[in-house]
Amino acid sequence: MLLPYFQALEAGSIGEAIRDSTWLFPFIEAFHLVGLAVIGGAVLLVDFRLMGLGLRRQPVAALARDAQPWLIGGVVFMIGSGVPLFLAEAIKCYYSFAFWTKMTALALAIVFSFTVRRRVALAGEAGVGPFWMRVVGVTSIVLWSTVGWGGRWIGFS
């Protein structure tokens, strides 16, 4: 059903330019990996804290506020570098199980991060108890890890 759209996207000039270049695809990939590290740090600092690990002496809310711009910036940067990679091989992505897994996990991760996790983190110690904080932290790590692993496996298919 979506295939014609993916075909049109792959045929576009951006995808074509990236495919025609030897260097462009690997370079955008490397930028994408740098973004992965930034998102990783921003997500894990807060998730570790929610799980009672890492920076335990800092209030959750303060950590979450510090990490928030890096998480948002990281997501924007990842989408900015991910879309060109997708345009270069949209049809391959259409048939890739890893791609659809990643996109589903990404949608869930973004929604979860900016609703439940954000509320729980900003409410801090006054909000939900330690058990539910852990659940939120673990859920976030699982969702974002699925995005990362899915992304890596697009390249293997």
Reference 41, options 61, 60, 62, 69; nearest CA is 69
**57/131 with CB nearer other proteins:** 57
CA dihedral 63, 69, 70, 76 (to 10 degrees): 150
Three-state SS at 96: coil
Closest distance to other proteins from the beta carbon of 56 (Å) = 7
Q: How far is the CB of 51 from other proteins (least distance, A)?
A: 11
Distance CA 14, CA 20 (A): 10
State which residue, 10 or 47, has the beta carbon closest to other proteins: 47
Nearer to other proteins (CB atom), residue 29 or residue 108:
29
Q: In the complex, what is the shortest distance from the CB of residue 7 to other proteins, in angstroms, rounded to a whole number?
A: 27
Q: Taking the complex as a whole, how short is the minimal distance between the CB of residue 143 and other proteins, in angstroms?
A: 14
For other proteins, the closer CB: 69 or 130: 69
Interface positions with other proteins (CB under 8 A) = 22, 26-27, 29-30, 33-34, 36-45, 48, 53-58, 62-63, 66-67, 69-70, 145, 148-149, 152-153, 156
- Long-range contact list for 20-27, CB < 8 A, 24+ apart? 25/85, 25/88
Q: How far is the CB of 9 from other proteins (least distance, A)?
A: 24
Q: What is the longest distance spanned by two Cα atoms in the chain? A: 55
Residues 6+ apart with CB under 8 A from 130: 52
Question: Which residue's CB is nearer to other proteins, number 9 or number 50?
Answer: 50
